[in-house]
Amino acid sequence: MSLKGRRLIFVAIYWCTAPASLPGQTRETDSLAILDVIDQHEAAMRTFQAEQQIKIYAADAVWINAFGTRRAGRDSILAFLVALNADSGYRASQVRRVAPPEVIFLRPDVAIVRELHQRDGQRLPDGSLVDRRIHTSYVLSKDSGRWLIKYEHIADVRPRSRAMRSNPGGLEKGA
């Protein structure tokens, strides 16, 4: 199924199950606009175009990657992305979406988006070659009719340890 087809199914499902406090037409229109922002983000990542990617961030956005690097403000995020995209190990990798993005409205002008994607063939600074499954969470806000990324947090999916599999909550027994 095409990306557009999946997007329309997602919007239809969301429209039928979303809170009644947000009018249907606005919810549908905003959902499509938000998914378009996420598609622009993915396209810019896939083609290593930081200058295009940064256009969808709010001026005061916060960006945190899976390695703990935190950048605040569009200029700081852009500088990091330009350097990242220039790295040959990063450029050797390819990104693809694993599951369609999930959009949840907190208010009519604020939404959370969660997506899962895979980056294959990334060479780390130590020379190791990795394939990464990545969860990205975004907070988007609507400013002057335009949806922008206000906050982005990238987290690698890591295998669970034996201890975590036997104690999924991570709490001590009896706590």
- pTM summary value: 0.73
pLDDT value of position 165:
54
pLDDT value of position 175:
46
pLDDT value of position 21:
47
pLDDT value of position 67:
86
Handedness of CA 38, 87, 50, 149 (dihedral sign): positive
pLDDT along the chain (175 residues), means of 10: 58 50 69 95 90 95 93 96 89 83 94 90 79 90 95 85 55 50
Residue type, 154: I
pLDDT value of position 16:
47
- DSSP assignment of 41-105 equals HHHHHHTT-HHHHGGGEEEEEEEE-TTS-EEESHHHHHHHHHHHHH-HHHHT-EEEEEEEEEEEE
CATH assignment of 3-158, among 3.40.50.720, 3.40.710.10, 3.10.450.50, 3.30.450.20? 3.10.450.50
The answer to whether 74 and 82 are in contact (CB under 8 A) is no
What Rg value do the Cα atoms of the chain yield, rounded?
A: 18
